[in-house]
Amino acid sequence: MCPLQKPLLKRLFSKNHPDWLFWGCLLLLNFLLFLPIYLFQAERASFWPVGNGTAFSVADWLQTLFVQRSNPDIFRLHLEWLGLVTLWVLLRPLRRRRVLLLIFLVLVGQLLYATYEGFIRSFYLLDPTFYNDYFLFWDMTGNVLRGLHLPLWVYAAGAVALGGLLLALWRLLRFLLLGLPTERLSVWTRAGLCVLLLGALGETAVFPTDIGQPETAVSSLVMKLLENSGRSRLAYARVNQFNSDNLAPHYQFTHNNLTQKPDIYLLFVESYGSVLYQRDDLLPATLRLHNELMDKLRDNGWNVASTRSEAPTWGGASWVSYTSALTGLRLESHAQFLALLDKYQERPFPHLINYLHDQGYRTYRLSSIGTELDETTLAAYQQFYRFDQWLQFSDLDYNGPLYGWGPSPPDQYALNAAETQMEAAGDEPHLLFFLTQNSHYPWNPLPTLADDWRTLPDLPQPPVPPAERPSYDVLRQHYMTAVDYDLKTLVDFIVEQGDDNDLFILIGDHQPARVARYSDGWDTPVHIISRNADLVDAFRPYADFSHSLSTRDITATLHHEGLYSLLMRVLLTQYGSDPTNVPDYAPGGFVD
């Protein structure tokens, strides 16, 4: 370093001239408050707010930099943090350790909320809502941690890292507010703080409802909390909207009996979303896969009708999605799901499973995930869904390698093992409900398809995935490979195990987390498959159905909660004893 530079740097960064250090620490802690949201979306985000090669006019550039932008970068201002520091600097009576502790607690609270908001927006594309998210986190955190099978040292390391982060925050805050001689800050620094604060308050006055959103250049925790509270009150009101008296008229068709009873396979495909048609690197592979499988189905005498359906959830909460389909009610949150579950513990709900059971079907739920539900949760679920048999991992007689989420056995093994048990149970008609596991995030490692599913337990253990998070491109490749595996598994199962009058319904539960984005929408493919051409054709008048597996050019008019009415209208029109007692097709569910 040039000797002449040393005095200048010493002047700039010494405690006798604290302005540069003050601004550095102030902005560092300010930008840190936006870091969680950025990290959750780092694969798809630019670090800088502008300058990604897009042409901007001056007005657009100013709008993007100082008002609002969709890129989740960190270069924004946090209103409360800026206000607290400005008051500390300008008002000497506030410079007390108790006030410093209060500012530290506010800072930690802001970071925690940013982490919570980043997770909810990144994985579920939802506005954070305390009432809904509390139940989700409370019920699912334990299941997720058990599914990850992390060793104890990982939790210990996480606790140490969290403690280290809090200590670092505390020391940096103390250095900013107590370590630097505040009285030596220049008039320009004090004026600069006032200008920034007034500008942030001015933007708040002009855009009062926007600064609670993550896209704005100025963010406010108070506004975020107020908006969250408003959404929570609305969610609480919606939780109990499904009153039994209001629901009863919509389910009169359940008194109509079926004179023919095809075996029904309702197969939800985890993370099978319309994003497959909206990415240049996914579309060609998707079209090739659909064409290959369509040829296989046609060659073996199977008919196909495909459309799209709008899922009620995005990126997760599969149980909310498939329960909407089974009940004909639009459930939008885990809290609504729990309320419905609790309300119908003692009395049966007239959902698809109960209707088919009353028609003489034996109903099965296949849940192959290696981490089984605890007895209390399973009992509550069984009391609501009322499957005749709930097949879990321990019922599959599998002692081979486990894969991916859960972890879980190969879906090929689970499906065929369940079919073997159903065949052994007797000749009565049956329904099988299954949510695939191998197409669940993180989509790695994956099993291989076997000529004989019984040989799958003999395969060697898959390699352990790398500890570091894969790049966005690699993640999409893993996702495509997982979809390829599960669709081939399901089509092979249909071709090898299906009978002439069987009805197979394949439907995606939601868009994939980490791969899709908000602009991709909430649509998922739906495939109706049977050798009975009349039965497949009976679905076509009610939605835009293609004659193949592709849904590339289809706009969704069906919603998942409309599937129940669609299925029952077709079955009762084709096979009902009273053709006048059929439900109206309700693409948005029975209740608005």
Q: Crossing angle, helix 19-32 and helix 152-174, to 10 degrees? A: 140
For 66-96, write each residue's pLDDT tens digit: 888 888 889 999 999 999 999 999 999 988 9
pLDDT over 90 at 124, yes or no: no
What's the start-to-end Cα distance of the chain, in Å? 71
Instruction: Tell me which residue of 470, 481, 476, 467 sits closest to 438, measured CA to CA.
Output: 481
Upstream peptide bond of 3 is cis (omega within 30 degrees of 0): no
What would the two tokens of residue 453 be? 């599913």
Cβ atoms of 314 and 126 closer than 8 Å: yes
Per-residue pLDDT at 420: 95
Per-residue pLDDT at 146: 62
- Dihedral sign computed on CA atoms, order 377, 382, 383, 389: negative
pLDDT over 80 at 97, yes or no: yes
Cβ atoms of 508 and 311 closer than 8 Å: yes
DSSP string, 112-133: HHHHHHHHHHHHH-----HHHH
pLDDT over 80 at 108, yes or no: yes
Instruction: Tell me which residue of 67, 146, 37 sits closest to 370, measured CA to CA.
Output: 146
Cβ atoms of 516 and 253 closer than 8 Å: no
Residues 6+ apart with CB under 8 A from 5: none
Provide the b/e sequence for 190-221 (b: ≥16 CB within 10 Å).
Answer: eeebeebbeebeebbeebeebbbbbebbbbbb
Chain mean pLDDT for the chain? 88
HSE at residue 5, side-chain half, CA atoms within 13 A, is 2
Phi and psi angles of residue 431, each rounded to the nearest 5 degrees, phi first: -120, 135
- Range with the poorest average pLDDT among 144-153, 342-351, 420-429: 144-153
- Range with the poorest average pLDDT among 133-147, 175-189, 371-385, 414-428: 133-147
Per-residue pLDDT at 145: 65
Instruction: Quote the CA–CA distance of 222 and 527 in Å, as a whole number.
Output: 46
How would you list the strands of the sheet with 264-269, edge to edge? Answer: 389-392, 362-367, 430-435, 264-269, 503-508, 523-530, 303-310, 558-559
Q: Are strands 558-559 and 303-310 parallel, antiparallel or unpaired?
A: parallel
For 524, other C-beta atoms within 10 Å of its C-beta total 27
Per-residue pLDDT at 5: 45
For 197-207, write each residue's pLDDT tens digit: 999 888 888 87
Instruction: Tell me which residue of 304, 331, 220 sits closest to 504, measured CA to CA.
Output: 304
pLDDT band for 427, please (50, 70, 90 cuts).
Answer: confident
For 579, other C-beta atoms within 10 Å of its C-beta total 11
pLDDT over 80 at 150, yes or no: no
Instruction: Quote the CA–CA distance of 42 and 48 in Å, as a whole number.
Output: 11
Tell me how many degrees the CA angle 230-320-521 measures, rounded to the nearest 5. Answer: 75
Upstream peptide bond of 442 is cis (omega within 30 degrees of 0): yes
Instruction: Quote the CA–CA distance of 524 and 539 in Å, as a whole number.
Output: 17
Tell me how many degrees the CA angle 280-286-288 measures, rounded to the nearest 5. Answer: 110
pLDDT band for 51, please (50, 70, 90 cuts).
Answer: low
Q: Which of 37-51, 209-223, 253-267 has the highest mean pLDDT?
A: 253-267
For 573, other C-beta atoms within 10 Å of its C-beta total 11
Instruction: Tell me which residue of 286, 251, 201 sits closest to 479, measured CA to CA.
Output: 286
Instruction: Quote the CA–CA distance of 60 and 253 in Å, as a whole number.
Output: 57
Mean pLDDT of 524-548: 96
pLDDT over 60 at 13, yes or no: no
For 200-244, write each residue's pLDDT tens digit: 888 888 877 666 788 888 999 999 999 999 988 888 887 777 777
Instruction: Tell me which residue of 32, 23, 40 sits closest to 89, measured CA to CA.
Output: 23
Phi and psi angles of residue 224, each rounded to the nearest 5 degrees, phi first: -60, -45
Phi and psi angles of residue 230, each rounded to the nearest 5 degrees, phi first: -65, -45
